[in-house]
A and B are shown apart, each in its own frame.
Chain A
């Protein structure tokens, strides 16, 4: 079984709150793909194999470094053809920062967006024309 890394970042009189790195990665991945213009995340070879085996990887293409109070995030994205990449990337940075900070309480110090590729819309298959006469 995979070892889950936890970082304890808050303690109160009732006990400690621990958030796994994977959780931060999933939040960041979902927040990034929400942004219009992002076609998907680029997970590399390992991510691709995991998906082929039927395992849905929500943290695909996300690397996180989580400290006690802060987090730094690297996102590996594929953008849709036609969008303005600097604008989309800025929106991704803002969305991810906001989502992670709101949900985990961690301060996001850095969101690095790596554009790994451009995705083009697949041409729709032509419908077979029905003959006018049978």
Chain B
């Protein structure tokens, strides 16, 4: 989440908390706190303006929060897949298919667990980010080189797609300990 989004949510949270406190206080005191202020606002134009500005800001925060929650931001969507064209039509290989293949390729890799690949398009090919857990008895520089080589070669061999970049992210070290309960 971006800083602006965090700030927005925090402001919205503070506004919500403030409103709740005011309502709770009103319930306890059996009197709405803004009754007096409302009478004053009728005669004081500056107070009306201030209240209006606060209301508009809270409304804007609320609407932005709804937009964020529903994910209607301007984030670019990943295309469905890589497209090849020939005289008979198109061949579209979905990124999901590429990811499944990589997952399968690395399933047999000793010491590499919980592989989570993510493919994205780059000019003239794809880039792949692979997150995984690693066994502590393996040497990462050697293993990573081998993984990168296998992914590049096999994806090209099976799918005809050039892998321009293979980014490896070791999420954790596999302790090999199993939970006592499931």
Interface residues of A (CB under 8 A from B): 72-73, 79, 81-86, 89-90, 93-94, 97, 110-118, 120
**B90-104: which have CB < 8 Å to A?**
90-94, 96-97, 100-101, 104
Expressed in whole angstroms, the Cα–Cα distance for A111 and B85 within the complex equals 10
In the bound complex, do residue A114 and residue B104 qualify as a contact, i.e. CB atoms below 8 Å apart? no
The answer to whether B97 touches A112 (Cβ under 8 A) is no
Given contacts A84-B158, A84-B160, A86-B160, contact A114 B94 (CB under 8 A): yes
Q: Are B92 and A118 in contact (CB under 8 A)?
A: no
Mask: chain B, 62-94; 1 = CB below 8 Å from A; 0 = not: 000000000000000000110010101111111
Top 8 nearest A-B pairs (CB, nearest first) are A93-B88, A112-B90, A86-B160, A110-B89, A89-B91, A111-B89, A115-B93, A114-B92
Q: Which residues of B contact A (CB under 8 A)?
A: 80-81, 84, 86, 88-94, 96-97, 100-101, 104, 157-160
A118, B90: Cβ atoms closer than 8 Å: no
Q: How far is the CA of A81 from the CA of B100 in the complex (A)?
A: 10
Contact check, A117 vs B86: say whether CB atoms are below 8 A apart.
no
- Quote the shortest CB–CB distance from B154 to chain A (angstroms): 10
8 Å CB contact of B159 from A72, A85, A93:
A85
Complex alpha-carbon distance, A115 and B84, angstroms: 11
Task: Decide if A112 touches B92 in the complex (CB within 8 Å).
Answer: yes
User: What are the residues of chain B within 8 A of A90 when measuring CB–CB?
Assistant: 86, 88, 91
A128 to B158, CA, bound (A): 36
Within the complex, what minimum Cβ distance (angstroms) separates A12 from chain B? 30
Residues of B within 8 A of A84 (CB): 157-158, 160
A117 to chain B: closest residue by CB: B97
Please, which residues of chain B bring their CB within 8 A of the CB of A118? 97, 100-101, 104
The answer to whether A116 touches B96, judged by C-beta atoms less than 8 angstroms apart, is: yes
Question: Given the complex, which residues of A lie within 8 Å of B104, measured CB to CB?
Answer: 81, 118, 120
- Closest chain-B Cβ to A54's Cβ sits at a distance in Å of 27
Closest CB-CB distance, A117 to chain B, in whole Å?
Answer: 5
Q: A111-B89, A114-B94 are known contacts. Are A86 and B100 too (CB-CB below 8 A)?
A: no
B161 to chain A, nearest CB (A): 9
What's the nearest-Cβ distance from chain B to residue A130, in Å? 30
Q: A94 near B91 (CB under 8 angstroms)?
A: no
| Pair A85/B89 contact, Cβ less than 8 Å | no
Whole-angstrom distance from the CB of B103 to the nearest CB of chain A? 9
Whether B90 lies near A113 (C-beta < 8 A) is yes
Is there contact, CB below 8 Å, between B160 and A81?
no
Q: What A residues does B100 contact at CB under 8 A?
A: 117-118
Max chain A C-beta neighbours (<10 A), residue from B80, B91, B104, B158: B91
